[in-house]
Structure 1
Amino acid sequence: METSDATCIHSEEAMVFGRDTRLFAGAVIVACMVLVGPSAPSGAPLARSLPVDAVRGVVPNRVMTWNICNPCEESNVDRAAEIATYAPQVIGLQEACVRDVERMRDYLEGFYGLVYHVEYGMVLRNWGRCGGAPWSPGAFGQAVLSAAPMTNPVNVEYPDGGSEDRGYMAVTTSVGGRFVRVFNTHLAERRQEAVRADQTDVLAADVARHDRAIVLGDFNAVPDAPELTGMWALAADTDPQCHPSSTGTCKPTTDWQSKFDYIFLRGIVPLEHRVLPTPYSDHHLLHTDLDPT
């Protein structure tokens, strides 16, 4: 490219000569633009069409959790289309970068007319995860998008994140016309059971302060894992058939057929839930419709 740039410069200098030279120089400049390319993207991304059975407008009593996979080479347009297909009132995202969430929110509004507020629960700045300049990497962690405004945001980093910083966030917002405390978390990676147990204790102590709470997240643990005992003591999974006993039947939420993703409900009754595999993450989408009364 250095040779092409140099040719462009010399050709522009040649334009001071006659008409034939100017025509030649102009042709070379056009060729250089093809070789070097524009300095900015040529256009905005195209919206992805939604399936015919996609909802039309936000479902006011629906909540969703989704680990969007990071680092993964997935398009934020595709992620936004997945969310727009089910249009929950509240979405908890894990493994999220601020820039990605900003783009998804813009696409949800610009392409599908879905307007969301956003709060972040970032726990680290990581260039490998989120890009940015090496001296100013992007922020990584959790995010909550809500169609209703959110108040009293809290962001807590666990005292021990394990192999990577982890934490939880909480907001108060409206679901089904009633205010509720919503938590979103991502526990330590697999094979770190003792770390997850300590993290669950921290999270459960905050959840216990609220009579009505929704806890979204990737817990990196199957239902009968001992480290989830504290959560099961406070809340039930949105799937009434899923519980930590041997008689429970829990739908897997990951590509490796494990249930790691939960919507725990405290003081709230579920109506219907769905686990939805997606090509854009190794975790499935999980959403539930709730009885607001």
Structure 2
Amino acid sequence: MTTRRTRRRGGARAIVLALLCVLVALPAGSGATPDAAAAPEVAARANVTPGHYVGTFNIYGNIGHRGDAGDWIKEEADAIRAVGRGDMGRWLFIGLQEVCEAQGERFARELGLRSAFIDTGTDCADGQPYGNAILFHSATRILPPALLPNTDNRGGERGIICAVVRAAGHQGPTGPQVTACSTHLTVGETKDREREAQAAFIRRGWKPDGTHPLGTDGPLVIAGDLNAAPDAPELDVMYDGIEASGPRESEPPYAFPTYEDGRKLDYLFVWGARGAARWADTGTRPTAHSDHDFYYSELSMGIG
């Protein structure tokens, strides 16, 4: 949610921003092997093992922590693990926003997951790249990340990172899969038009493969800080999907506020499932180290 003064990169950096992502393997001795290259052309299947948690968390990594990847991350990771009763196998993926690169990597290590990261072109206070991350057990591919529309052409670029992920224990190209994304829309009371353009880009305008919009080939889950309340017109296109807290809320008090002042700014949307998609056990967990709560829900979808 927080604003920040940003410094634009040079032309060479801008050229590679939309292609930059980092895949982090599990810690040594975990028994897992990287598999993002195992089936690079496999599309997201229209099913996913039912009953797995997804979550989203704006970690306040730069303004709040100035890039520090210290033990506060272990404390937050331990609390996230407790949501699934200590079993990270119950998680499908977690989206992180306001992330300095090393912070996303440490969250992944603490949770026994892999991660992918997008650098949106802003330095953290300690010089690290800054952006969004996604944490998961395994992926058949990482989609080329993208920067979101910046209609006023000012600093503070926002981005989206997606991976075709699988639930724990599913290996090989035929396991149930879903396209999972982490994103962060522009902040500001005067930025509703820009957020509208960013939401439309994510939902219908972005073609990661150059041909098909995001989510065309199977179920899609968006996790992110959208910096707008549920009744904001700029989120109309997002509510084509099913949100974890249920029907669109028109005013506070919200069922699941996610920001420290009582607003709901963080979301979990699902589109494109065969059969009914169902959210259950939705909740928020207040955090000691961020101005946002951790927002989570258990997702089930039809198989087939």
Normalising by structure 2, what TM-score? Answer: 0.66
* 2:55 corresponds to: 64
Q: 1:154 is matched with which residue: 141, 144, 152? A: 144
**Runs of 5+ unmatched residues, structure 1:** 1-58, 109-113, 132-136
* 1:236 corresponds to: 242
| C-alpha contact (below 8 Å) 2:243/2:267 kept by paired residues | yes
1:259 and 1:271, CA in 2 relative to 1: closer, same or farther beyond 3 A?
Answer: same
1:95 deviates by 0.4
- SS where residue 143 of structure 2 aligns? strand
- Correspondence list, 1:81-96, <5 A: 81-86=78-83, 87=88, 88-96=91-99
Q: Distance in 2 between matches of 1:174 and 1:261?
A: 23
1:152 deviates by 3.4
* 1:126 corresponds to: 123
- The answer on 1:271 being equivalent to 2:280 is yes
- SS where residue 283 of structure 1 aligns? coil
- SS where residue 64 of structure 1 aligns? strand
Cα deviation 1:61-89 (Å, max 9, x = unaligned): 11110000132137222232233223433
1:152 and 1:76, CA in 2 relative to 1: closer, same or farther beyond 3 A?
Answer: closer
Q: Distance in 1 between matches of 2:119 and 2:221?
A: 19
Cα deviation 1:262-282 (Å, max 9, x = unaligned): 001112321221111111211
* 1:111 corresponds to: none
State the superposition RMSD in angstroms: 2.5
Q: Distance in 1 between matches of 2:198 and 2:232?
A: 14
Q: Distance in 1 between matches of 2:298 and 2:52?
A: 5
* 2:256 corresponds to: 251
Give the structure with higher Rg (CA): 1
AA of the residue aligned to 2:184: H
| C-alpha contact (below 8 Å) 1:78/1:280 kept by paired residues | no
- The answer on 1:166 being equivalent to 2:166 is no
* 1:49 corresponds to: none
AA of the residue aligned to 1:155: P
- SS where residue 169 of structure 1 aligns? strand
1:97 and 1:249, CA in 2 relative to 1: closer, same or farther beyond 3 A?
Answer: closer
AA of the residue aligned to 1:185: T
Whose RCO is larger (CA < 8 A, sep 6+)?
Answer: 2
Q: Distance in 1 between matches of 2:286 and 2:78?
A: 14
Q: Distance in 2 between matches of 1:210 and 1:82?
A: 34
* 1:280 corresponds to: 289
1:174 deviates by 1.4
| C-alpha contact (below 8 Å) 2:54/2:297 kept by paired residues | yes
| C-alpha contact (below 8 Å) 1:237/1:262 kept by paired residues | yes
- SS where residue 154 of structure 1 aligns? coil
- SS where residue 271 of structure 1 aligns? strand
- Correspondence list, 1:1-293, <5 A: 61-70=52-61, 71-73=63-65, 75-86=72-83, 87=88, 88-106=91-109, 108=110, 114-128=111-125, 131=126, 137-160=127-150, 163-175=155-167, 178-191=176-189, 192-205=191-204, 206-207=213-214, 209-233=216-240, 235-240=241-246, 242-244=247-249, 250-266=255-271, 267=273, 268-293=277-302
- SS where residue 108 of structure 2 aligns? helix
Q: Distance in 2 between matches of 1:247 and 1:125?
A: 33
1:246 deviates by 6.6
- SS where residue 149 of structure 1 aligns? strand
Normalising by structure 1, what TM-score? Answer: 0.68
| C-alpha contact (below 8 Å) 1:163/1:188 kept by paired residues | no
Runs of 4+ with >4 A deviation: 244-249
- SS where residue 199 of structure 2 aligns? helix
1:93 and 1:127, CA in 2 relative to 1: closer, same or farther beyond 3 A?
Answer: closer
The answer to which structure has the higher helix fraction is 1
Q: Distance in 2 between matches of 1:138 and 1:84?
A: 27
1:103 deviates by 2.2
* 1:14 corresponds to: none
Q: Distance in 2 between matches of 1:265 and 1:196?
A: 19
**Runs of 5+ unmatched residues, structure 2:** 1-49, 171-175, 205-212
AA of the residue aligned to 1:144: I
1:219 deviates by 0.1
**Alignment length, in residue pairs?**
220
